[in-house]
């Protein structure tokens, strides 16, 4: 076989064309050089010469021709085989064929798939040889990878490895070893040949770059020569033409420098004089003149005049310190004028308060207001201070300091007043608004001494303390309001004043300085006041920023900032006063709910007046006081309601349901509350002045300190009068011409309702809560009354032996009375109820009214049921009586015991109800009784066995007697036109005994 597979075709892609050829190339580099040197007698350095150069072309061509002539050596003849056999067959070459079958198959595959002709490299002419050599870069290496097995290109190829050695050298005999050596040599030749081809393909660019580098060196040498010539020419020109002109220019520059030095010296003298003047002006507190000097110095600093002057390196700090001193002076003068020059007004107020504590009077504090002359003088004093603070843009920050100082001064004044008046007020005797146990409710271990003293004060003393604090707070707030008005006048309404231009200029300068301060930050205090510099930089800011504010907008923003801080100062003082007042009220939060209504109203009213006055002066809503008053008023209503619920429950549990005489005081209460014409027909939207007269309680009620004593007294009086004058002479409670018989619990409920109404009028802000409590107490009274009377609970609670018709009738009267006055209560209480809650509360109170009506109807039904049960009891004994009629002859012309007992009980019930209930109720009850009597008696008599004439006569007599009783009963539904209470019993009598049986 041909041993030149490397020349059999062009290079194609192979599956093993990875980077593994690098290892083979590296390992075979030395053998490659050695093979080339031995086979062609040419060194590798001759290859690196430029093949296009004439000097090296002969060596290159000679080397190339010699390299292409390398052929694989012939195989050694197999002499032994030829000698052993004279005739050769195919089987003799089988071993050889098996050894070369794989390389031969690969060779055939490459030849069949090659795009070029498979010819020997020696048969190619010069053009074809040039095309092969000039192929693409890397194609030779690809062909090499195709011809040499991939095993030798692996990165981990190591011949010493057993598996690798067996794969690379699969020989078993000496002849196979020789063949393998020839094959490996052939592989090495192929690699060397293709490496030389790749080197030749890449040599052109290298030699071209080398030639260009040599040309560049020649040009550099020429450029350096030209530069030396030009320098010499310039030296000659400077010596002949430029030196004289340059000397004139230097002299002129020296003259200009001397003139600038003279100007600098004059500037230094001016600055030194300005600094001396500034120190004197600051020392004399002439803030306006000092600010003028600082303006000039600031203008110099903002420019370039002082640049480079080492002697003025501290001028900026000195000017900033002077401005800070000026601001301090202006701020102190402003604080003194605004706060501390108010005079010794607090001491005067406290002395008056101590005098009133020792000798109570009804004098009111005079209003604290400045007249026109004082206001004008006050504004003139503030004007220069405000202008100076405006020029330095410090007025907003000074106003913030003023706000804090004013707030602290307000708190300190209140604290001083409390500490000064407490010893005097604590020396006053305590009124009996609490028991000692109630007053000690706050005695906890964590409370401070001041809190304990405030809690131990009487209500009158505490009100006096609040009045003194009220006067002090009003004085301070009036002063703060005057300061606020003066600043607003200076900032907004000074047109036509002699200082109007100064104020406008100060506002403009301060606005620019404030804007620069916001832009530059807070790093340098000197940057805060730099009017000229900031004014100069404003156009640039506007030019660089599309939405930059105009100077007028900057002034408006600065003015708005000043006015906002001015207003916030008064607001803060007002809030501080409200907070201290609310704190004083909060200290006694556990005591106020236990006060009597007049005492609580004293505290409530002065707090309301304080809140109204301070809001009017300071313009700040008293949320803290409002919340505290709301919570304490609600706690007061809750406590009063709980105590009244406990009282009405105690009275109900002790109620014996005996009619009592109504004292005149209760009729007076009732008349003043419910029977006054303005209450029922007046306008609901009238003010408190009208409503206050409508519901003012009689003065006699203030003599009763305990409600149970009042009821007990009324009950004892009614018992005595009952014994002397009889029941018919007892005084009832009259409402709209209708008299209502009352018991103790009814009078107590009336008294409590009047107190709720008074509480509702005095505390209109809690009208909804009061209405809710009234609904609750009405529900409780109705429920508890039903349990005690209809449910017979009074037999266990009050010790009654039974619940009689008299008890039921009195309970009906009380329930009817409450039901009758509920609409009046609703019209009174709902005057102050907000519209948002009115619908819900109206539905609740209407539901309560309906419950009372149902309760009254159930009592009447109970009375009817009692009479029905008594009738059934008597009817159960009627058959025995009829049997006696049939057996014996009786000459007695009187009705039987059945008829007499029944009519007696009916008559008793009629007398009791007629004396207690209203006529309409009595008629309604007996109308049902009449119907029951007719139906039950006629049915029972129809079932009797009347066998004798004597029994019929007796039966007719009893029926006529019962009908006579029925005829006399009051009823609002007569059955016939002539005969009252006609019914089934009349029909029974006519049916049994004829039309004249009733005669």
Residue 602 within a domain: yes
Range of the domain at 856: 632-674+731-862
Whole-angstrom CA distances from 61 to 40, 66, 71, 195, 970 are: 11, 8, 18, 17, 160
Residues 951 and 825 reside in one and the same domain: no
% pLDDT > 90, the chain: 12
Round to whole Å and give the CA distance between 830 and 849: 15
Round to whole Å and give the CA distance between 989 and 658: 42
Residues 829 and 913 reside in one and the same domain: no
Residue 77 within a domain: no
Closest CA to 382 of 343, 340, 337: 337
Average pLDDT value for the chain: 74
Residues 612 and 647 reside in one and the same domain: no
Across the range 962-986, mean pLDDT stands at 75
Residues 402 and 471 reside in one and the same domain: yes
Round to whole Å and give the CA distance between 243 and 234: 12
Residue 325 within a domain: no
Residues 893 and 965 reside in one and the same domain: yes
Residues 578 and 651 reside in one and the same domain: no
Domain stops at, among 198, 229, 251: 251
What CATH number should be reported for the domain holding residue 785? 1.10.357
pLDDT at 287: 82
Q: Which of 178-192, 475-489, 679-693 has the lowest mean pLDDT?
A: 679-693
Residues 822 and 901 reside in one and the same domain: no
On whether the CB atoms of residues 458 and 428 are closer than 8 A, the answer is yes
pLDDT at 380: 79
Residue 295 within a domain: no
Residue 461 within a domain: yes
Residue 645 within a domain: yes
Q: Which of 669-673, 891-895, 966-970 has the lowest mean pLDDT?
A: 891-895
Tens digits of residue pLDDT in 600-615:
989 988 988 988 888 8
Domain stops at, among 834, 862, 890: 862
pLDDT at 974: 53
Tens digits of residue pLDDT in 52-68:
554 444 444 434 333 33
Across the range 694-700, mean pLDDT stands at 36
Round to whole Å and give the CA distance between 314 and 553: 35
On whether the CB atoms of residues 291 and 326 are closer than 8 A, the answer is yes
With bands split at pLDDT 50, 70 and 90, how would you rate the model's confidence at 692? very low
* Helix H or strand E segment including 740: strand 738-740
With bands split at pLDDT 50, 70 and 90, how would you rate the model's confidence at 70? very low
Residue 214 within a domain: yes
Residues 583 and 486 reside in one and the same domain: yes
Domain stops at, among 576, 609, 631: 631
% pLDDT > 70, the chain: 73
Round to whole Å and give the CA distance between 820 and 816: 6
Tens digits of residue pLDDT in 264-273:
888 888 888 8
Is residue 83 pLDDT above 80, yes or no? no
Residues 354 and 490 reside in one and the same domain: yes
pLDDT at 357: 62
Residues 856 and 898 reside in one and the same domain: no
Helix (H, G, I), strand (E, B) or coil at 734: strand
* Helix H or strand E segment including 738: strand 738-740
Residue 655 within a domain: yes
Residues 376 and 501 reside in one and the same domain: yes
| Higher pLDDT, residue 363 or 559 | 559
Round to whole Å and give the CA distance between 484 and 479: 9
Number of domains composing the chain: 4
Residues 482 and 348 reside in one and the same domain: yes
Q: Which of 449-458, 555-564, 638-647, 977-986 has the lowest mean pLDDT?
A: 977-986
Round to whole Å and give the CA distance between 887 and 795: 45
């Amino acid at each position: 076989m041909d041993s030149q597979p490397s020349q059999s075709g062009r290079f194609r892609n192979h599956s093993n064309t990875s980077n593994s050829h690098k290892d083979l190339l590296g390992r075979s580099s030395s053998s490659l050089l050695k093979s080339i040197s031995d086979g062609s007698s040419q060194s590798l350095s001759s290859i690196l010469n430029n093949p296009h150069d004439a000097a090296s072309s002969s060596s290159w061509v000679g080397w190339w021709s010699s390299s292409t002539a390398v052929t694989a050596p012939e195989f050694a003849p197999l002499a032994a085989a030829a000698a052993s056999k004279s005739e050769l067959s195919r089987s003799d070459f089988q071993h050889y064929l098996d050894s070369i079958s794989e390389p031969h198959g690969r060779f055939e595959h490459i030849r069949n798939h090659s795009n070029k002709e498979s010819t020997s490299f020696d048969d190619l002419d010069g053009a074809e040889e040039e095309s092969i050599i000039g192929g693409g870069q890397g194609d030779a290496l690809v062909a090499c990878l195709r011809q040499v097995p991939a095993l030798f290109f692996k990165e981990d190829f190591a011949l010493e490895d057993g598996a690798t050695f067996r794969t690379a050298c699969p020989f078993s005999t000496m002849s196979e070893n020789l063949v393998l050596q020839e094959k490996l040599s052939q592989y090495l030749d192929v690699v060397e040949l293709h490496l030389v081809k790749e080197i030749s393909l890449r040599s052109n660019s290298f030699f071209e770059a080398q030639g260009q580098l040599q040309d560049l060196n020649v040009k550099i040498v020429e450029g350096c020569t030209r530069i030396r010539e030009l320098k010499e020419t310039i030296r000659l020109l400077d010596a002949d033409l430029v030196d004289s002109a340059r000397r004139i220019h230097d002299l002129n520059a020296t003259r200009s420098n001397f003139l600038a030095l003279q100007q600098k010296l004059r500037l230094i003298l001016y600055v030194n004089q300005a600094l001396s003047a500034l120190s004197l002006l600051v020392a004399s507190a002439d803030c306006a003149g000092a600010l003028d000097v600082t303006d000039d110095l600031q203008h110099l600093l903002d420019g370039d005049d002082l640049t480079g002057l080492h002697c003025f390196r501290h001028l900026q700090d000195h000017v900033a310190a002077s401005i800070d001193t000026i601001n301090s002076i202006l701020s102190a003068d402003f604080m003194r004028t605004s706060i501390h020059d108010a005079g010794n007004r607090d001491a005067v107020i406290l002395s008056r308060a101590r005098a009133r504590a020792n000798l109570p009077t009804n004098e009111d504090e005079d209003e604290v207001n400045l007249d026109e002359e004082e206001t004008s003088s006050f504004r003139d004093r503030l004007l220069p201070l405000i202008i100076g603070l405006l020029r330095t843009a410090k007025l907003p920050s000074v106003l913030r300091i003023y706000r804090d100082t004013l707030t602290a001064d307000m708190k300190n004044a209140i604290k001083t007043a409390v500490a000064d008046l407490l010893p005097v007020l604590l020396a006053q005797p305590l009124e009996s608004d609490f028991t000692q146990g109630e007053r000690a409710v706050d005695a906890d271990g964590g409370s401070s001494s001041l809190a304990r003293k405030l809690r131990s004060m009487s209500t009158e003393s505490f009100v006096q303390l609040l009045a003194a604090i009220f006067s002090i707070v009003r004085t301070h707030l009036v002063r703060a309001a005057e300061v606020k008005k003066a600043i607003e006048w200076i900032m907004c309404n000074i047109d036509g004043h002699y200082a109007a231009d100064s104020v406008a200029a100060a506002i403009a300068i301060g606005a620019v300085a404030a804007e620069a301060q916001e832009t530059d930050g807070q790093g340098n205090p000197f940057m805060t006041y730099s009017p000229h510099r900031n004014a100069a930089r404003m156009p640039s800011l506007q030019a660089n920023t599309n939405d930059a504010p105009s100077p007028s907008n900057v002034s408006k923003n600065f003015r708005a900032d000043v006015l906002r801080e001015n207003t916030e100062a008064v607001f803060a003082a007002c809030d501080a006063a409200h907070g201290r007042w609310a704190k004083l009220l909060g200290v006694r939060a556990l005591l106020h709910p236990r006060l009597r209504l007049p005492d609580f109203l004293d505290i409530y009213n002065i707090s309301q007046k304080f809140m109204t006055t301070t809001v009017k002066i300071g313009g700040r809503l008293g949320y803290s006081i409002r919340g505290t008053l709301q919570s304490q008023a609600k706690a007061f209503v809750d406590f009063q309601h709980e105590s009244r619920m406990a009282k009405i429950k105690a009275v109900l549990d002790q109620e014996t349901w005996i009619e009592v005489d109504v004292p005149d005081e209760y009729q007076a209460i009732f008349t003043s509350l419910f029977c006054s014409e303005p209450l029922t027909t007046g306008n609901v939207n009238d003010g408190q002045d009208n409503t206050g007269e409508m519901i003012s309680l009689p003065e006699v009620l203030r003599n009763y300190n305990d409600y149970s004593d009042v009821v007990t007294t009324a009950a004892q009086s009614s018992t005595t009068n009952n014994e002397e004058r009889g029941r018919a002479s007892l005084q009832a409670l009259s409402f709209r011409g209708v008299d209502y018989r009352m018991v103790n619990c009814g009078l107590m409920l009336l008294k409590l309702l009047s107190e709720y109404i008074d509480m509702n009028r005095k505390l209109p802000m809690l009208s909804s809560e009061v209405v809710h409590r009234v609904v609750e107490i009405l529900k409780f009274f109705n429920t508890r009354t039903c349990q005690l009377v209809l449910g017979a609970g009074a037999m266990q609670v009050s010790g009654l032996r039974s619940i009689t018709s008299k008890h039921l009738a009195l309970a009906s009267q009380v329930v009817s009375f409450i039901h009758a006055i509920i609409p009046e209560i609703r019209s009174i209480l709902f005057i102050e109820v907000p519209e948002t809650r009115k619908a819900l509360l109206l539905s609740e109170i209407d539901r309560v009214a309906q419950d009372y009506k149902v309760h009254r109807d159930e009592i009447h039904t109970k009375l009817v049921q009692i009479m029905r049960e008594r009738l059934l009891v008597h009817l159960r004994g009627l058959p025995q009586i009829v049997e006696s009629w049939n057996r014996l002859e009786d000459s007695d012309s009187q009705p039987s015991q059945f008829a007499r007992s029944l009519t007696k009980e009916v008559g008793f019930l009629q007398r009791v109800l007629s004396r207690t209930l209203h006529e309409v109720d009595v008629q309604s009850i007996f109308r049902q009784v009449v119907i029951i009597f007719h139906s039950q008696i006629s049915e029972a008599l129809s079932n009797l066995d009347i066998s004798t004439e004597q029994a019929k006569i007796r039966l007719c007599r009893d029926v006529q007697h019962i009908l006579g009783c029925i005829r006399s009963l009051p009823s609002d539904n007569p059955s016939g036109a002539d005969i009252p209470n006609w019914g089934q019993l009349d029909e029974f009598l006519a049916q049994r005994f004829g039309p004249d049986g009733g005669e």
